[in-house]
Amino acid sequence: MPFWKTVSLTAMSRAQWESLCDGCGRCCLQKFQNGKTGKVAYTWVSCYLLDTQTCRCTDYANRSILVPDCLQLTAELIPRLRWLPRTCAYRRISEGRDLAEWHPLVSGDADSVHRAGISVRDKAISEVYVHPEDVEYYAVGYRL
Ligand code: SF4
Ligand code: SF4
């Protein structure tokens, strides 16, 4: 049995936890939160540290210092983070769902998440290239 079916999120080793990330980059997109409803809308504008081709953070070790808003996911936090994409491996496991067939741990191929159209590759634009006042024009338009 694969480890994500037998080990709880709280009991996973660091290596298991990190390998669970499918590398989609979706959580690294900028979001807006409606002050009244609390609903979160995604945009295609990504954090400046995201490599929009590999969909990986370019300075993962120092991300908390460089991007104070970057949230460190924990098993306890995940159920409360309703903005996490429904495809997110951590959310799936937390909700008792299995990993999808395109997840690299299932497919054995790191590119399967890109081929399946789940990642932000060829969709995201770095915040480096977008004026802060224009970010809202890049709203995703549907729920991730
Ligand atoms: S949304 Fe989840 S699986 Fe995708 S990059 Fe973020 S943490 Fe990893
Ligand atoms: S600092 Fe890295 S992990 Fe955090 S949002 Fe930016 S690209 Fe993503």
Per-residue model confidence as pLDDT tens digits over 18-66: 999 999 999 999 998 888 887 888 999 999 999 999 999 999 999 999 9
Ligand minimally distant from the alpha carbon of residue 92: 1
Residues 6+ apart with CB under 8 A from 50: 25, 28, 56, 57, 58, 120, 124, 126
Is residue 104 situated within a structural domain?
yes
Residue 143 in this model has a pLDDT that exceeds 80: no
Burial class (CB in 10 A: 0-12, 13-18, 19+), 41: middle
The mean pLDDT of 8-27, rounded to a whole number, is: 97
CA of 16 to the centre of ligand 1 (A): 14
Mean pLDDT of the chain: 95
Give residue 37's pLDDT: 83
Residue-wise burial string across 89-114, b where 16 or more C-beta atoms lie within 10 A, e elsewhere: bbbbbbeeeebbebbbbbbeeeebbb
For 131, the domain range is: 3-138
Task: Look at residue 36 in the predicted model and tell me its pLDDT.
Answer: 85
Tokens of 140: 């995703």
And the tokens for 73? 């996911």
Instruction: Return the ligand 2 atom nearest residue 60 CA.
Output: 2
Instruction: Tell whether 44 is covered by a domain.
Output: yes
Span 58-85, mean pLDDT? 95
Predicted pLDDT at 33 = 84
Q: Is residue 143 part of a domain?
A: no
What is the band of 141 on the pLDDT scale with cuts at 50, 70, 90? Answer: confident
Across residues 110-134, what is the average pLDDT? 96
pTM summary value: 0.93
CB 87 within 8 A of CB 144: yes
Asked if the structure places residue 43 within a domain, the reply is yes
1 Cα to the center of ligand 2, angstroms: 31
Amino acid 39: pLDDT: 83
Domain assignment present for residue 144? The answer is: no
Summarize the confidence of residues 3-19 as an average pLDDT.
Answer: 97
How many domains, in total, are found in the chain? 1
130 inside domain: yes
